[in-house]
Amino acid sequence: CSESDLGPISLNWFEELSAEAPP
């Protein structure tokens, strides 16, 4: 998989999505 297929990757995706998602 290349970054062009999947877009920019974040190693902290779980923490970032948890901060953004509705409680």
Partner 1 sequence: DVAEQLPPVLPEGPREESLQLVSELKDSSCSCAVDVSTVWWEAAGCRELRVVTASESAVSLWEPLAPDCWGKVYTWHLREIPVIQMIPLPDTCNLVCVALGELEIGEIRLLLYSSETDSSKHSLVKTGNIKAVVGLKDQRLVSSSRTMQEQQVEMVSLSETGGSKDRQALMPPEETVTAFAEVEGMREALVGTTAGNSVVVWNLKTGQLLRKMHVGYSYPASICHRAYSDSGLLFVVLSHPLAKESESCGSPAFRVVAFNPHTGRSAGVMFSCLPPGCAGRQGDVWDTAGAAVLTSGAVAVWDLLRGRCAAVLHPGPAGHWALARWAAGGAGLLAG
* Closest approach of partner 1 to the CB of residue 4, in Å: 10
Measure the CA–CA gap between 19 and 5, rounded to whole angstroms: 25
> CA angle, corner 22, sides to 18 and 23, nearest 5?
80
Size of the site for partner 1 (CB under 8 A): 16
Measure the CA–CA gap between 7 and 4, rounded to whole angstroms: 5
Q: Where in 1-23 is the site for partner 1 (CB under 8 A)?
A: 1, 5-11, 13-14, 16-18, 21-23
Q: Which residues bind partner 1 (CB under 8 A)?
A: 1, 5-11, 13-14, 16-18, 21-23
